[in-house]
C-alpha cells in the first residue's frame, strides 16, 4: 500500500514474530529484528486495504 488515507481509518491488525532475551537486560524480552509480521486491513471511506508486511 502506498499513499495516504485521510479521515477516519479503522485498523484490524495482527502481529506475530520471534522474541529473544534482551542482551543488555536479561529481565526483558525483545523482538528479533526482521521477524515481525503485520497483517490485517485498513478500512476508510475509500475502501478496505490489505496489509501484509514484515518489519
> 37-46: per-residue pLDDT in tens?
999 999 999 8
> What cell was used for 11?
485498523
Q: What is the pLDDT of residue 47?
A: 92
Assessment of whether the complete model's pTM goes beyond 0.85: no
Question: Which pLDDT score, from 0 to 100, does residue 14 have?
Answer: 98
**In Å, how far are 3, 18, 54 from 36, measured between CA atoms?**
22, 7, 6
Contacts of 44 (CB under 8 A, 6+ apart): 5, 6, 7, 8, 9, 10
Indicate whether 1 pLDDT > 70: no
- Please write the tens of the pLDDT for every residue from 2-39: 678 788 999 999 999 999 999 999 999 999 999 999 99
Amino acid at each position: 500500500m502506498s499513499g495516504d488515507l485521510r479521515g477516519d481509518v479503522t485498523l484490524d491488525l495482527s502481529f506475530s514474530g520471534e522474541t529473544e532475551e534482551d542482551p543488555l537486560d536479561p529481565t526483558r524480552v525483545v523482538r528479533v529484528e526482521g521477524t515481525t509480521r503485520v497483517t490485517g486491513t485498513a478500512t476508510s471511506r475509500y475502501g478496505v486495504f490489505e496489509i501484509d508486511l514484515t518489519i
